[in-house]
């Protein structure tokens, strides 16, 4: 699979949870279908969670993949869209 397709599959599983469609994907795909080691590992963890706990939990997947698994390489960081912290609006209730 191509990287963007692999990312979409993992993202869909993490966002959508254990739906009937997710169950079909987990039953159909093998971890070897993923060329990127992180996605392969994430898929294995997701499949194990689905079988053993009947759920898909993104935080548990991140923890199982290990510290730094989702670290962004500084060279790639410039390619990411810039994120701003939302401005806080404080009102005192008087108008």
What is the full per-residue pLDDT of the chain (95 aa) written as tens digits? 688 999 999 999 999 999 999 999 999 999 999 999 999 999 999 999 999 999 999 999 988 988 666 555 666 555 544 444 444 554 555 54
Q: Is residue 63 situated within a structural domain?
A: yes
d(CA 88, CA 52): 42
Helices 3-16 and 37-53: crossing angle in degrees, nearest 10, is: 30
Question: How many structural domains compose the chain?
Answer: 1
Q: Is residue 91 situated within a structural domain?
A: no
Q: Is residue 56 situated within a structural domain?
A: yes
Are 56 and 49 in contact by the 8 Å Cβ rule? The answer is yes
Q: Is residue 22 situated within a structural domain?
A: yes
Per-residue pLDDT at 65: 86
Per-residue pLDDT at 77: 54
Q: Is residue 77 situated within a structural domain?
A: no
Q: Is residue 78 situated within a structural domain?
A: no
Q: Is residue 89 situated within a structural domain?
A: no
Per-residue pLDDT at 84: 45
Q: Which domain holds residue 63?
A: 3-70
Q: Is residue 19 situated within a structural domain?
A: yes
């Amino acid at each position: 699979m191509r990287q963007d397709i692999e990312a979409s599959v993992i993202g869909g599983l993490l966002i959508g949870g254990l739906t009937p469609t997710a169950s079909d994907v987990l039953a159909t795909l093998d971890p070897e279908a993923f060329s990127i080691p992180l996605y392969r590992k994430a898929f294995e963890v997701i499949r194990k969670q689905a079988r053993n706990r009947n759920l898909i939990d993104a935080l548990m997947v991140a923890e199982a993949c290990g510290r730094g698994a989702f670290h962004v390489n500084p060279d790639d960081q410039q390619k990411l869209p810039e994120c701003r912290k939302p401005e806080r609006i404080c009102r005192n209730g008087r108008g």
